[in-house]
Structure 1
Amino acid sequence: MASTGPFSSSTAFCARCGSILPLLQEFGSVKCYACKASFDAENFNNLKFNYTIQFNAVTTVNNENILNSDGPEGPVVERKCPKCGNDRMSYATLQLRSADEGQTVFYTCISCKYKETENS
């Protein structure tokens, strides 16, 4: 695409103002929403875009691995377990009540796995 302004750009951006251009229609021209510059649709015919999508590695997790894990079930805070007296518990939060109320915090003792909840 020929440059008609101060910006040297690819076809995805306006050459005059640098704004992103709308998607190409089947016929006519492409018009910049910001500066109203118009570009002939023929300038876009031979374009090819390559996209790379990265996915996380696949891991297998089953219930046995979760239930038998020795590590904490979430972030650890200094909180005394009412059952065994250990001073560290892990926690997780969920919004179980209406949006204008606080979240529910689920605590799990790192030592004895005792669980308790708190509405914050």
Structure 2
Amino acid sequence: MAPPRLTSTSTSTRVSAHRIGSLLFCPACGTLLDLPKDEQDEIACHQCGRKEPASSYENLPTKTYSSPNAFPSTLRQKRALVQNKVQDGEAAKDRDPVAQEKCQKCGHIGLSYKEMQLRSADEGSTIFYKCLNCGDQTSTNN
């Protein structure tokens, strides 16, 4: 969206004065202008010396736009990191290895499995099986 423009006739050529948000810019050289004091009638550019009537910039509506990415926060970054890890974990669940074992409930051959260390380190691990057909779950201790 283009910045709001005002036409100024303070010189012989017609030049547009610039205002972006609450910032005022010199229409001749583009230098950032100081905001006028209450008693000032003109705004003078310190770079090129051009003077603009202060009334040119009065009562103009200011529209601002932003997006969630415009103001990054550590909390938002941590939340995104946790969400990515959870999604990666869910994707890993879908890719559990499959053993060519028979389901005790429905007889289907093909059980996904995963191994977890639930007991102390000097004892064996526990293997959890899940039937790909009926979803029945069993476990065995190694």
Give yes or no for TM over 0.5.
no
TM-score range, shorter chain: 0.3 to 0.5
Which protein is bigger by CA-based radius of gyration?
Answer: 2
The structure where helix makes up a greater share of residues is 2
